[in-house]
Amino acid sequence: MTEELVIIFSTASESEASPIAQALVMQHLAACVNILPVTSVYRWQGDLCRDHEHLLIIKTVQKNVETVIREIRKLHSYELPEMVVIPVTGGYLPYLEWVAAETRT
């Protein structure tokens, strides 16, 4: 079985998130990308920050991780973007097979 995984990261706006999501899906680097409005609380350069952002949840496979991260870095406005890779340890097999099929290049 292919090693499916999820990559999460946030952007400053939906207008930044949407082109990134579309680029990843069009290039078969992701099978699907969800875009969700979120409120993030974090410390940045000594200040406590609270921002409205958009969280992207990318469904992909292990072989695409480095390329996905490179693509995000090219299109992302943040100096230090959050990019967290989470392995998928189970799920609905037909969906996981679809993820693998959609990310074949």
DSSP class of residue 39? E
Q: Three-class SS of residue 46?
A: coil
**Domain range enclosing 66:** 4-102
* CATH number, domain containing residue 15: 3.30.70.120
Q: How many domains does the chain fold into?
A: 1
**pTM higher than 0.85 for the full model?**
yes
pLDDT of amino acid 2? 64
Gyration radius from the chain CA atoms: 14
In which element (H, E) is residue 73 found? helix 65-75
pLDDT of the chain, 105 residues: tens digit per residue: 469 999 999 999 999 999 999 999 999 999 999 999 999 999 999 999 999 999 999 999 999 999 999 999 999 999 999 999 999 999 999 999 999 999 986
